[in-house]
Amino acid sequence: MLLSKSKLCGAAITAAVCITTQFASISTVTAAEQANAVPLKYDFQYRSDKEQARDKYRHPKETLSFFEVNPTDTVVEIWPGGGWYTQVLATALKNQGHYVAAHWPKDSKVNFFKVHRAKFDQKFTANVQRYGEFSVSNFEPPMNPNMAPEETADVVLTFRNVHNWMGKNLEADVFAAAYRALRPGGIFGVVEHRANAGTSRLEMIKSGYVTEEFVRQQAIKAGFTFVGSSEINANAKDTKDYPSGVWTLPPTLRLKSIDKDKYLAIGESDRMTLKFRKPL
C-alpha cells in the first residue's frame, strides 16, 4: 500500500519489516487467478501530452510485452525517478497485480535523491484512486540493500539506470538485489543507453552510455541467464559523441538552446532492451 507503512506498523518497527509484511499479504497469486487474469490493460488518461510524446522513443507497451509482464504479476521497478513508468505500470497492475517502486529513501544523504523522492511521493500519494495502492521500498545500497523481500517479485525492471549505479560502484549490489527479489523463473528487464562496443568503464560513466556486454556480464555474475534482446528502443540516428554525453539529447537537452533543433531531430538515445531470467 502506497506510503502507508505508518498505519500498518508501530513507530519502533522498521520500514523493511513493514514492506515484508505487505508483500506477504499481496504477492501470492493462485494458479486459478493467473488463468482467469484479463490481458494487461493500459490507462493513459492521466499522462500528460509531454509524457505521452516520449512513447515513440520508449515504446512502453511493446517493451513491457517483451519483458513478459502479466496483469497478476508483482513488478518491482528500480529507481523510478519522477515516475514516468510508474504511471504506466501502476495503473496496468492495480486490479490484479502489484507495483513496487524501489525508490531512493526519503532521508537519503544524497540531496538529489531526497528531493526527487519527495516529488514522487507528492505526485502519487494524493492519487490512490488514479494509480491504485502500490508499495514503495527504500533502496539505496549499501545502506538499504534490499528492494523487496526475497523471491516475492515476478518481474524486476530498470530503465536507464545502470550508468548511475556504475558512477557509485553499485552495479554488482543492484544486480544481486534484483536476483534476490525475484522468484525462480522471474524476469529481469533492463533498458539502458547503449554505448559502442569497446567503450571503457570511465567513458561509460562520463557519457551515460553503457555497452551491452557490460550489462550482460553483470547479470550473469549475479546468477541470471540471458534470454534475449530487442531493438524496440533502438535509435540509429544517435551517434553517441556529444559534448555532454547522453544528456545532450532530449529530454534533458543539457546544452539548452545550442544546436537544440539538431538534437531534437535525433530524438532520445539509442537503447538496449535486454531480458534475463532467474533460473528455476
Query: Residue 211: its pLDDT value, please?
Result: 98
The pLDDT tens digits for 142-165 are 999 999 999 999 999 999 999 999
Half-sphere exposure of residue 127: CA atoms within 13 angstroms, side-chain side: 15
Secondary structure of residue 198 in the 3-state scheme: coil
Q: Which residue has the higher pLDDT, 1 or 59?
A: 59
Angle at 84 between CA 79 and CA 85, to 5 degrees: 70
Question: How much is the average pLDDT of 213-234?
Answer: 98
Query: Residue 33: its pLDDT value, please?
Result: 53
Least confident of 124-138, 204-218, 224-238: 124-138
- Expressed in percent and rounded to 5, the helix, strand and coil fractions of the chain are 40, 20, 40
Query: Residue 25: its pLDDT value, please?
Result: 40
Query: Residue 126: its pLDDT value, please?
Result: 77
With cell 520500514, the residue in question is 15
With cell 517502486, the residue in question is 101
Query: Residue 21: its pLDDT value, please?
Result: 31
Query: Residue 4: its pLDDT value, please?
Result: 34
Q: What is the dihedral of CA 190, 254, 48, 132, to 10 degrees?
A: 40
Query: How large a percentage of the chain has pLDDT more than 70?
Result: 86
The pLDDT tens digits for 48-62 are 999 999 999 999 999
The pLDDT tens digits for 5-51 are 333 232 222 333 233 334 434 445 555 555 555 678 999 999 999 99
The pLDDT tens digits for 69-125 are 999 999 999 999 999 999 999 999 999 999 999 999 999 999 999 999 999 999 997
Query: Residue 15: its pLDDT value, please?
Result: 36
Q: Return the C-alpha cell found at 37.
A: 487474469
Query: What's the mean per-residue pLDDT of the chain?
Result: 89
Contact between 149 and 195 under an 8 Å Cβ cutoff? The reply is no
Q: Return the C-alpha cell found at 76.
A: 518491482
> What contacts 24+ positions apart, CB below 8 Å, involve 164-171?
164/79, 166/201, 166/204, 166/205, 166/210, 167/205, 170/141, 170/142, 171/218
| Res. 207: pLDDT tops 70 | yes
